[in-house]
C-alpha cells in the first residue's frame, strides 16, 4: 500500500475545498493507493458531504475530526508546534486520538521528537510523518537518503518503546510530482504527506501518477 495524504491546511477556502473534493472523487485511484484528504477544519463537514464516503478524510484538528467522524488526524505538525503545541501537548493529543478511535499521523521535524510524543501511548495503529521544518512549504525537499536514515532511527526508537504496535512511515516537505518517486520507490518510505502540491487537481493528479 502507498499512502498519499493531502494536507490542504488553510490554502483553500471552504468553497474551493468542496470544488476540489468533487474533482478528486472523479479520479481513478489505484487499488494499492490510500488517498486521504485533510481539509481545513471549517471545510471538513462540507467536504465530507462532497465525497460521499468515497474518499477517506482526516483533519488538522482533533475536535473537528471527532465531530465529523474523520479517520485520521495530524498531530504535531510544524504549523501547530509553531503556534504553541509543546511535546507534552503532542503526547496528550496522541493519546486522545487513539482513545477516540482516530488514527494519528504524528508529524516530527526531527527524530528526537518521536519518543516524547509516544510516551504513555497504548499499542495502536499510527503514522509518523518525518517533515524537517526547513522542507515544509519551502520548495526544498529533503534528500531521499536523509529520509531513509530518519526511518532507520525511528524504527529503532519504536522497537524499543512500542514493539507491539503497527505503524507506517511517510515523508513530508515540498513533495511534488517530480520528486515523489524518489521517496515512494524506497520500500522504507511507503507514503507522503503533501501540502502545496495537493491543492490543485492538476498537481495532485501529478503526484498520484508518479507515486
Ligand atoms: P508542503 O507541506 O508539501 O507544502 O511542504 C507539507 C505539510 O505541510 O505537511
Across 64-88, average pLDDT: 94
Nearest CA to ligand 1 atom 1: 195
Let me know: does 105 contact 193? Beta carbons within 8 Å. Answer: yes
Whether pLDDT at 31 is above 90: yes
CA distances from 155 to 91, 99, 109, 160, 203 (A): 18, 24, 16, 9, 31
Give the pLDDT confidence of 165-203 residue by residue, as tens digits: 999 999 999 999 999 999 999 999 999 999 999 999 999
- pTM for this predicted structure: 0.97
Distance 193 CA to ligand 1 centre (A): 7
**What pLDDT is recorded for position 132?**
97
Nearest CA to ligand 1 atom 8: 195
Residues with CB under 6 A from ligand 1: 7, 131, 136-137, 172-175, 193-197
Distance 130 CA to ligand 1 centre (A): 11
User: What are the residues facing 33 on neighbouring strands?
Assistant: 2
Tell me the pLDDT of the chain averaged across its residues: 96
Amino acid at each position: 500500500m502507498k499512502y498519499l495524504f493531502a494536507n490542504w491546511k488553510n490554502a483553500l477556502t471552504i468553497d474551493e475545498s468542496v470544488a476540489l473534493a468533487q474533482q478528486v472523487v472523479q479520479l481513478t485511484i489505484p487499488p494499492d493507493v490510500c488517498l486521504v484528504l485533510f481539509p481545513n477544519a471549517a471545510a471538513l463537514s462540507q467536504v465530507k458531504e462532497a465525497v460521499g464516503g468515497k474518499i477517506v478524510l482526516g483533519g488538522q484538528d482533533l475536535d473537528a475530526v471527532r465531530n465529523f467522524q474523520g479517520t485520521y488526524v495530524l498531530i504535531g505538525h510544524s504549523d501547530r508546534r509553531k503556534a504553541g503545541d509543546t511535546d507534552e501537548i503532542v503526547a496528550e493529543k496522541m493519546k486522545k486520538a487513539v482513545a477516540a478511535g482516530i488514527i494519528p499521523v504524528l508529524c516530527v521535524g526531527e527524530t528526537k521528537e518521536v519518543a516524547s510524543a509516544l510516551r504513555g501511548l497504548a499499542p495502536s495503529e499510527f503514522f509518523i510523518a518525518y517533515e524537517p521544518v526547513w522542507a515544509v512549504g519551502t520548495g526544498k525537499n529533503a534528500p531521499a537518503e536523509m529520509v531513509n536514515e530518519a526511518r532507520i532511527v525511528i524504527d529503532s526508537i519504536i522497537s524499543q518503546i512500542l514493539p507491539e504496535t503497527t505503524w507506517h512511515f511517510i515523508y513530508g516537505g515540498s513533495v511534488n510530482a517530480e520528486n515523489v518517486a524518489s521517496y515512494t520507490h524506497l520500500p522504507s518510505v511507503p507514503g507522503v504527506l503533501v501540502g502545496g502540491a495537493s491543492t490543485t487537481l492538476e498537481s495532485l493528479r501529478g503526484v498520484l501518477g508518479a507515486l
